[in-house]
Amino acid sequence: MDAFGVTDETTDALQVRTPAQFKALAHPFRHRLLFALGPGPATISQLATGLGTAKGTVAHHLKVLTEAGMVQPAHTRQVRGGTEQYHERSYRRLVGETVDSETTAAMLGAVAEELAVDPDPLLHLRHLRLTPEQAQRLRSTLDDLVDDTEEAAPDQPRYGVLVALYRRHDTPSPT
């Protein structure tokens, strides 16, 4: 496990492709769980306390995320009367090349919840006219910017970054 609580089995980027992954991302509470696991491994009890919900709810949603390959067992710890299982994300970042409207709505809903409590959020929406080549360059630049930003130490605040580049429906496709 590294300084950020990530084991060697954790991948850098998880490409969201399977129906199970899309299903897992379709529920806003699962986004909250994934965000809660960002700093490192946690038990069901720790997650339930931190998220203010029942352990059974956390266990159910962790099972869905685990079956989708988005959460994995991290390690166990012996406690009086049993064994605590720690869970962690199986990736550092999610990448979605193709997403359906339900998944997009769930992801944006989770981001909206976080923006609502941030005292100084940054949110921009801009529509640009771009050639396909310009759009590809912008996509590469944004992807590189997110990929190349190094994380600070675990005692520093966490920030969410959501990057999207999409073609408007009212824009005709190049022929």
For residues 114 and 136, give the distance between their C-alpha atoms in angstroms, rounded to a whole number.
29
pTM value is 0.63
pLDDT at 10: 57
Say if 88 falls within a structural domain: yes
d(CA 169, CA 113): 27
In degrees, rounded to 5, the angle at the alpha carbon of residue 54 between the alpha carbons of residues 39 and 154 is: 10
Q: Cβ(58)–Cβ(11) under 8 Å?
A: no
Distance of CA 79 to the CA centre of its chain: 30
Q: Is residue 150 part of a domain?
A: no
Q: φ and ψ at 50, to 5 degrees?
A: -65, -30
Mean pLDDT of 60-74: 93
User: Residue 30: is it exposed, middle or buried by C-beta count within 10 angstroms (0-12/13-18/19+)?
Assistant: buried
Q: What is the pLDDT of residues 112-153, one digit of tens each?
A: 877 887 888 888 888 999 999 999 999 999 989 988 888 888
Residue 114 domain-assigned?
Answer: yes
Total tally of structural domains belonging to the chain: 1
Residue 39 lies in a domain: yes
pLDDT digits (tens, 9 = 90+) for 3-42: 333 344 556 777 777 778 878 887 888 888 988 888 789 9
Model confidence pLDDT, tens digit, residues 43-52: 999 999 999 9
Residue 44 in domain: yes
Assess if residue 28 is contained within a domain: yes
pLDDT given at position 136: 94
Task: Tell me the angle at which helices 28-36 and 101-117 cross, rounded to the nearest 10 degrees.
Answer: 50
Closest CA to 70 of 87, 84, 57: 87
In a domain, 65, yes or no: yes
Range of the domain at 51: 11-122
| Confidence at residue 103, expressed as pLDDT on a 0 to 100 scale | 66
Burial class (CB in 10 A: 0-12, 13-18, 19+), 38: middle
User: Does residue 140 fall inside a structural domain?
Assistant: no
Cα of 2 vs its chain's centroid, Å: 19
User: What's 97's domain CATH number?
Assistant: 1.10.10.10
d(CA 102, CA 2): 34
Q: How many CA atoms lie within 13 A of 124 on its CB side?
A: 6
